[in-house]
Structure formats: C-alpha cells, structure tokens
C-alpha cells in the first residue's frame, strides 16, 4: 500500500561484504572482531586463571603486576620475575669428552699438581645399568618434581633414625644438596636406591629414578675431579664421593651385570681408595662443621697389636691353627691385624664399623679376593658387626646378602667357626 509505513527491505551493496556469523551480535548489529592471537605457550598461572598471557620471560606481565611467581611448562624461569635479557641455553652434552683421568688434579695457586684419583679409578665406582650418553643435564617436569620431593623426604626421614654422628653428617649433606645440584643428584640417587629396596621392583618410577640420578651424580663427579679441586668444590667432592662410595657398596646387586653371589670386593677396594681421596681433600674443609666428623672417619685404628694381648679378645678363635699352616710372616700379620680391627670395633660399641674395610691391609684384601677361607670367615664377622651396629640406616639388608654370599664360598669344614654369626643372621643353608 502507498500509505504504509513499512519500509522496503535493504539491498546490500555489492561493494560491501556481508558480515559473517562471528561478526553479528545478539542484537543483530554487525561488529568486526579485532585480530586475536591465541596463547598456547603461556605460563601456568595465566592458564589456571584462563586469562591471556603475553608469554614474556622470565615473568609475564600479568604475573609481574600481581607480584606472583611465574612458571612456564618449559625450562624453569627466574623466580624474581625481573627481565634479565636474552637467556643463553647451552647445548646438552651427551657424553663425557674423555675417559676420567686416573690422576686427581689439585689446584694450588696458579699451578695444577697431579695426584692419584682413587675414587673413580675403581671400575666399581662407574658401574651403572644406564648409558650416560642419553641422560639429560637436568630434569624439570612436574612429575619429576613430585618424585624428587618424595625421594628427598625419604632421605630426611631415614636420617632422623641415625646416630648423632650420622645425623650430623646427613644434615651437612642435606644442607649442601639444596644449594648444589651435583650433591642433590647424588642424594636423590642414593635415597632412591634405598627406597627401591623397601618398595620392591614393581615401582618403576623409583627404579628408573635411582639409576638416572646416580648416573648424573657420577658423571658430574668425574667432571669435577678432572677439573681439579680447591676450596670452592672440596665439600661437593667429598659429599658426592661419600654417597657414590656407599652406593657402590650396598647396591651392588642392582648395578652389577653378574648373576649369583659375588665376593664382597666392592666393600674393600672402593673404601681403601676413597680414604686416600678424602685425605687429599680434607685440608680444604677445615672451617666446615663436617671437618671433625670426617676426621673421626679418617682416624686410623690404633696400631695393630697381637690380638691375644687385648683385654677381651672376642675374635681370637678366628686365628686358631694359624701357626700350623706354615704361612709367610706377611700373611700371618695381615690376618692378625684384621682380627685386631674387629676387636677394636667391637669394643667401640659398633660405632665405627666402616673403619674395617678402609683399614685392613692390601695383603688381606688380596686374600679375600683369592677366596682364602680364613679371610672369608673374618669378613663374615665384619658383616655381623655391621648388622648388630644398626647405626647405618642405608645398609639395611646389605649385611644379610653379603653374609649369605660368603657362606656359599666358604668350605663347609669352616662352617662351625661361623656359629656365632650364623645365629645373629639366623642363616640356614636352605
């Protein structure tokens, strides 16, 4: 109708494109949306709040305004959220540049003196079922962070059960670990192996972590030794060296490629060479709290004397018939000294059982390696003292395994002399 107020429909101009559905609001009017770049690599805090992240590093603008820590899913950022310029990321080193030297360089002023490198010269120290070439330098995913806390908590819990001297040692290592990545890797690896012995082989997370962290610790320790030692790294070398040493002794069943029982050489060669290493580095930590404790470990047992002259020769039965065997004087002296050390440890109240493997003579260690029955009987009683002592939380179960191995190598006509130890271990042939 001519008088109708209804307007005719608009015809869109061919020069103006029609708005799409995304540009039309509920009111029916068209609006062009501004270009938008979706954040896919933003920080965790922005993702949790469902806000756009400008992805600036080390801290995004939103986190800086709110004065909160900014964490990304890729490598960890600085906690102060202040710009530090371009971050340089060094390439991952996939393998050691060269085989660790058998000499220990010592930094002295501007010169480097060469000395023996005992701790890693023993092949037992470098044993591992993992290939070091494929290990990352650091591990920083949330899953590994949770695992690290679990393993470190286990270390703290177990050290609380130790004796006073052991607690002081463990506290020193723990404090050093939170400030030194190399020591932390050694603590995590050492603690993971102990936790693995408790939870069993079904926990693959702990099983893999035990090898991973200990292998990282061994690699960094070898690199530090090759670089030389001084006041700046002596404490780190001692702490890592001690943890690697203890790991090599008690976890041989996990790191050895041999099946079945073995002679416990991993308790003697490493301990004797480690004592030399600790003596080399001891003077660098004179002002640290651990110096006195390390001195007590390095202090030698009083000079050997004839066991029968002791007030309470508890182990003199291990020397019965020695004179009739027609042995050379050096072998007789090696046996007498070893039994003397057993008696000294016994009369010290089992407080320092690890002095035995570090103090016995090289001749005695050779006799153990040769499988001499009297030498095997003597070290069988050493492991009995380790079991009775209960001052070392990390050896639980190790003494039992080593004693069982010794009994398989010991001739049966020597078994009666082992009655005391057999009762302590509650051991039977079956």
Which residue would you say has higher pLDDT here, 215 or 122?
A: 215
Domain 39-86 CATH (choose: 4.10.240, 2.40.50, 1.10.490, 1.20.120): 4.10.240
* Least confident stretch, 39-48, 111-120, 358-367: 111-120
Identify the weakest region by mean pLDDT among 56-70, 125-139, 358-372: 125-139
**pLDDT above 60 (res 121):** no
Tell me the CA distances in angstroms from 380 to 267, 285, 317, 367, 376, one per residue in order.
12, 35, 14, 14, 6
Confidence label for 248 from pLDDT (cuts 50, 70 and 90)? confident
pLDDT at residue 46, rounded to an integer: 87
d(CA 176, CA 226): 21
Is-contact 125 113, C-beta < 8 A? no
Q: Is the pLDDT of residue 130 over 50?
A: no
The pLDDT of residue 10: 52
pLDDT score recorded for residue 343: 86
174: how many CB neighbours lie within 10 A of its CB? 17
CA 232 – CA 55 distance, rounded (Å): 37
Examine the pLDDT at 423 and tell me if it is beyond 90.
yes
Neighbours of 89 (CB within 10 A): 7
Higher pLDDT, residue 39 or 260? 260
290 pLDDT tier (thresholds 50, 70, 90): low
Q: How far apart are CA 126 and CA 257, in angstroms?
A: 13
User: Can you give the pLDDT at residue 124?
Assistant: 47
Categorise residue 81: left if φ over 0, alpha if ψ from -120 to 50, beta otherwise.
Answer: left
Domain boundaries defined on the chain: 39-86, 104-258, 300-425
Q: What is the pLDDT of residue 92?
A: 43
Quickly list DSSP for 254-309: HH----S----GGGTHHHHHHHHHHHHHGGGGTTSTTHHHHHHHHSPPPPP--GGG
Longest C-alpha distance within the chain, in Å? 141
Of the ranges 99-103, 164-168, 181-185, 258-262, which one carries the lowest mean pLDDT score?
99-103
pLDDT at res. 410: 94
**Reported pTM:** 0.63
Is the pLDDT confidence value at 79 over 50?
no
Distance of alpha carbon 104 from alpha carbon 124, whole angstroms: 18
Instruction: Flag whether pLDDT at 40 surpasses 50.
Output: yes
What integer is the mean pLDDT of 99-113?
A: 43
Query: Quick check: 359 pLDDT over 50?
Result: yes
- Which residues have C-beta within 8 Å of that of residue 417, sequence separation ≥ 6? 317, 318, 320, 377
Is residue 37 over pLDDT 80?
A: no
In this predicted structure, what is the pLDDT of residue 371?
Answer: 92
Whether pLDDT at 129 is above 70: no
Q: Which pLDDT score, from 0 to 100, does residue 216 have?
A: 93
Residue linked to tokens 């092949």? 123
Mean pLDDT of 320-343: 88
Q: Over the chain, what is the mean pLDDT?
A: 74
- Does the pLDDT at position 111 exceed 90? no
160-174, 202-216, 226-240: range with lowest mean pLDDT: 160-174
CA gap 68, 58 in Å, rounded: 12
| Residue 276: pLDDT over 60 | yes
CB 137 within 8 A of CB 262: no
Number of residues that this document lists for the chain: 430
Mean per-residue pLDDT, 301-312:
47
């Amino acid at each position: 109708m001519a008088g109708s107020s209804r307007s005719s429909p608009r015809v869109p101009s061919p020069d103006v494109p029609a708005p799409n559905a995304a540009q039309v609001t509920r009111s029916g009017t068209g609006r062009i949306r501004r270009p938008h770049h979706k954040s896919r690599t933003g920080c965790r805090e922005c993702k949790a709040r469902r806000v756009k992240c400008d992805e600036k590093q080390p801290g995004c603008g939103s986190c800086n305004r709110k004065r909160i820590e900014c964490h990304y899913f890729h490598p960890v950022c600085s906690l102060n959220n202040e710009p530090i310029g371009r971050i340089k990321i060094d390439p991952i080193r996939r393998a050691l540049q060269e085989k660790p030297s058998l000499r220990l360089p010592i930094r002295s002023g501007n010169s480097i003196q060469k000395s023996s490198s005992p701790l890693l010269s023993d092949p037992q120290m470098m044993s591992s079922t993992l290939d070091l070439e494929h290990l990352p330098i650091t591990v920083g995913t949330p899953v590994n962070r949770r695992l690290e806390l679990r393993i470190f908590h286990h270390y703290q819990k177990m050290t609380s059960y130790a004796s006073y001297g052991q607690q002081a040692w463990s506290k020193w290592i723990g404090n050093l670990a939170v400030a030194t990545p190399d020591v932390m890797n050694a603590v995590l690896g050492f603690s993971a192996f102990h936790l693995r012995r408790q939870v069993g082989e079904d926990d693959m997370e702990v099983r893999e972590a035990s090898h991973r962290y200990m292998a990282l610790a061994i690699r960094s320790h070898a690199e530090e030794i090759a670089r030389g030692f001084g006041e700046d790294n002596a404490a780190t070398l001692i702490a890592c060296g001690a943890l690697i040493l203890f790991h090599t002794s008690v976890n041989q069943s996990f790191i050895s490629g041999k099946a079945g029982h073995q002679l416990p050489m991993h308790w003697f060669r490493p301990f004797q060479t480690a004592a030399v290493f600790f003596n080399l580095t001891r003077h660098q930590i004179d002002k640290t709290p651990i110096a006195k404790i390390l001195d007590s470990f390095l202090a030698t047992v009083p000079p050997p004397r004839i066991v029968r002259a002791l007030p309470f020769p508890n182990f003199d039965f291990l020397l019965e018939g020695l004179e009739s065997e027609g042995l050379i004087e050096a072998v007789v002296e090696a046996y007498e000294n070893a039994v003397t050390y057993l008696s000294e440890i016994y009369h010290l109240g089992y407080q320092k059982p690890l002095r035995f493997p570090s103090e016995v003579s090289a001749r005695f260690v050779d006799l153990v390696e040769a499988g001499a029955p009297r030498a095997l009987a003597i070290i069988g009683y050493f492991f009995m003292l380790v079991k009775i002592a209960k001052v070392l939380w990390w050896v639980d179960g190790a003494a039992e395994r080593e004693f069982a191995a010794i009994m398989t190598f010991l001739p049966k006509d020597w078994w009666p002399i082992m009655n005391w130890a057999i009762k302590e271990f509650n051991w039977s042939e079956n």
